Homo-oligomer: A and B are copies of this chain.
């Protein structure tokens, strides 16, 4: 049975400022917890059902000091999920990465003021699929350690470095290093017909507002995903941000695999 103090602490980690002061975040569910156990990240406390604990036959749990046997009813009191899982971990935040030298051998993503946790998690998952190592987020973006972000990455958070930084300065740095800065706009050039480099920075704007006018000035190549909905009564004016990012990553990677 978890104490009130413990429950209060765990629930406090749903709020960004509490995560920062504790340097910890929550990860829920069998897949992500097992993936974290096999990664270089540190689990400080583990809450799991008897059945889950019995299934871990290897050395995964060796060295873990705080293992709490509990049940789904208790996990439900902490869970952010509709269907609570049988395991939940408190994970030490990895040290914040500093902005690297812009890489000349790979594509990077930058997200301006992304707000929806599901979108950020899904984009991280897509980035990992396409071998993208860095995602830069403007400081006013949703926090990557938000439980819903972590959940929707489906463990891909372990493969991608997420760095919060000013995107104008970042874009400038890419340009100084002779790299392209791509951005998507309603009236950009047809992405299917443009030359796309295998390195550079791809900027994606906020869910409703798109790329801000300040940041737009740094874009060297304006892209657009053409719509094929001309015949329809209602003009569809945008794609979901995570879906648009998936299409763009796919198109860049297809080209670099071709070349």
Residues of A within 8 A of B (CB): 35, 38-39, 118, 122, 125-126, 128-131, 152, 154-156, 158-159, 192, 225-234, 236, 238-240, 242-247, 250-251, 253-254, 257-258
Q: A39-B234, A159-B229, A159-B234 are in contact. Are A240 and B126 (CB under 8 A)?
A: yes
How near does chain B come to A150, taking the closest CB pair, in angstroms? 14
Question: Do B246 and A154 have beta carbons less than 8 Å apart?
Answer: no
14 contacts between A and B (CB under 8 A): A118-B118, A122-B240, A125-B236, A125-B239, A128-B234, A130-B229, A131-B231, A155-B236, A156-B236, A158-B234, A159-B236, A240-B246, A243-B245, A244-B246
User: Which of B192, B230, B240 lies in contact with A152, CB distance below 8 A?
Assistant: B240
Residues in chain B near residue A129, CB distance under 8 A: 225, 227-229, 236, 238-239
Q: How far is the CB of A199 from chain B (nearest CB, A)?
A: 14
Min CB distance A158 to B, Å, is 5
CB closest chain-B residue, reference A40: B233
Query: Copies per complex?
Result: 2
Q: How near does chain B come to A142, taking the closest CB pair, in angstroms?
A: 13
Q: Complex: how many Å from CA A158 to CA B229?
A: 12
Residues of the B chain whose Cβ atoms lie less than 8 Å from the Cβ of A156:
234, 236
Contact A246 B257 (CB under 8 A): no
Residue of B nearest to A230 (CB): B131
The residue that A228 contacts in the complex, of B125, B131, B227, with Cβ under 8 A, is B131
Chain B residues with CB under 8 Å of A258's CB are 192
A205 to B17, CA, bound (A): 39
From residue A195, how far is it (CB to closest CB) to chain B in Å?
A: 15
CA distance A130 to B232 in the complex (A): 10
Closest to A245 in B: B243
Of all A-B residue pairs in the complex, the 7 with the closest CB atoms, nearest first, are A131-B228, A243-B246, A247-B250, A159-B232, A128-B236, A122-B240, A192-B254
Tell me the smallest distance from the CB of A132 to a CB of chain B, in Å.
8
